[in-house]
Each structure stands twice: as structure tokens, then as C-alpha cells.
Homo-oligomer: A and B are copies of this chain.
């Protein structure tokens, strides 16, 4: 695929990933999952959409559940530093030749002047500054469950050509914090950040554009363990796809769930500070069995293969482009793949991954 050029217009000053708009097929079921089980806070709702936020958020929402015929992602939404940055976003993507729409009153409730684009990787991105402030529930511990989700942490996108996407995000002002490569120079994934955490979004190599997951943070690891305990108590432990575990990449403690439509949600805590301009990029070998799980526990194949479709600005499913480079799943698991605990090791252990 062609290289995405860097526009002559300055990039908008992006502050952070701020919200995702998810299309769900059964609003009541999704509400039960995100509100009753996970405890996200309802800012407002009607028969078509529910606006949710995490407990430490002061803007209107971090997640919109919108009723629709096909489960998909309608927008990855970023907050920018000023109203002028919305203008810059519009100009930036126009110069890139992308489809761009702007609404002075916003595309969704709670948000003002916004730009939505179909970005060069095929994803629906939104940029906004104006937003309603709502009650920040930092100190409202009486409303915090044992598994309290306190922040939206990041997105994760599936795209066929990771270096192409990486260049596009670097041009947009993101820092690359970590990546996964092999000795032949193939990049399997990359993590890019605007705020001072490991990522605001990540690029996972695969058929795309698709949404791999959206991640919320807890304060501590026991909060994540409690979510698992509660899912067991509710007899919906089969919503747990992978984890809990410790990531190699990002060093965060993690859990992956699947919502009633199969959208993947990560619960995440405790990565590290990356805010310095010369923050070192950490590169992992794709064959290092601790890269995805520091404890060497296996990655379930569905985690590599499944992801959510995304919509264009008309609400139609974006077509999928196949990845041409090797897949991480095949490179690391199964008959032709391999992973090591210690570089150079030949012997196989008894671990579950080896039996797949």
C-alpha cells in the first residue's frame, strides 16, 4: 500500500483518546453488560443510545452504545487542545484527501463543534474540543464497586500494514512507545501515545480496518480480579476471552472480555510514564513468549483473529483489506510457529500454548 504523505497543515494537537461510539444490536443486553456488570456510569440515555462514562471522567462520555442492525464501531473519538485544533483536524484530513464532515453542534449529545473523518487507514475518527462537563465521581466511593472502571485508557485497531499506520500516527504527533517485530523486519504491532501512558491507540497487524478493543482502567490489580470473580458469580465467565494476566508490552495488568455483540473490552491497569519526548521505544521479538503475556500464558487464537467491523461516515461497513505480511498467530503458535521463554531455547515446556 502507498505511503500516507504528511500534510503541510500542522496536525491538530490531540490530548487523548476520549470516547468510542459502538453500534450494538440489543441495547438492553449491552446496558446490562456495561452498566450492571461493569459499572460504567450513565450520563444520559434514550431508546436509541446510552452515554456512559468512567468514574473519574469529567467530560460527558467515554462510550456511546447506539442501537443498530449490525455490531460495529461508528467512531474513535479524540479530544483536541482547543477549538482551533478542530479547524486543523478538518484541514489536515482534507489535505490527505479523506472524506471529512463537520458539525458545529456535534454528531452526538454532550459534544459541540466536531469533525469526523474516514482516515487513511479506513477508520472513522472524530475530533472535538467543546464538551459538556459532568460530575466527576473521583471521591464518590459510595458509587465505586470492587471493580470500579476509573478511566478510558486506549483503543486498539487492526490494520494490514503496521509500518504504514505507524508513520501516519507519528505524523499526527503520536510517540511510538513499543512494538513487536521479527528478525526479518516484519512489524506485527505498534503502540502509539499522545498522553503520557503507553498508548492512546495501538496498531495490531491483521485484516482491517477493524477495532480490536477498547480499554478501561482500574486503580489496582485486585479490581480486575474482582471483575472475574463477579463474572463467575453471574455465570457469565465465558465473557472472559483472555487473562487476567500481565502484559509484556506495556507492563500493564490486563483482562479481555467480549460484550454481548462480541466487541472486545480490555480492563487494564498500571502501565508506565511515557511523556518525555525521548521516551525509549521498547521492541519485542515476536517469538518471545513473554511479549503478550509476561507469565508465558497462551494467547487464545480468537484474540488474534476476531475483531469488530467499523463503519464509514454513512454508517455502512467498511470493506476489509487482507494483511499480506505474516500473522503473529502463525508465527508463534502451532506446527510452524515457535515461541521461546529464553532466547535460544530449543526445548518445549508443558505449557498450554504448546498443546494447541
Contacts and interface: CB of A to CB of B under 8 A. Distances in A.
A295 B240 CA distance: 7
Nearest to A140: B233
B222 A296 contact: no
A258 B350 contact: yes
B300 A355 contact: yes
**Chain A residues touching B, majority SS:** loop
Contact of A233 (B139, B151, B236, B273): B139
B300 A350 contact: yes
A352 B237 contact: no
Chain A: interface residue count, which band? 35 or more
Q: Which of A195, A222, A300, A352 has the most chain B CB atoms inside 10 A of its CB?
A: A352
B350 A302 contact: yes
B290 A237 contact: yes
Nearest to A258: B350
Contacts of A236: 341
A211 to B, nearest CB: 17
A301 interface: yes
Contacts of A240: 295-297, 351
Nearest to A81: B277
A259 interface: no
Interface of A: 15-16, 56, 58-59, 79, 81-82, 133, 136, 138-146, 148, 150-151, 195-196, 219-222, 225-226, 228-238, 240-242, 244, 246, 248, 251, 253, 258, 270, 272-273, 275-280, 289-290, 294-298, 300-302, 306, 341-342, 349-352, 355-356
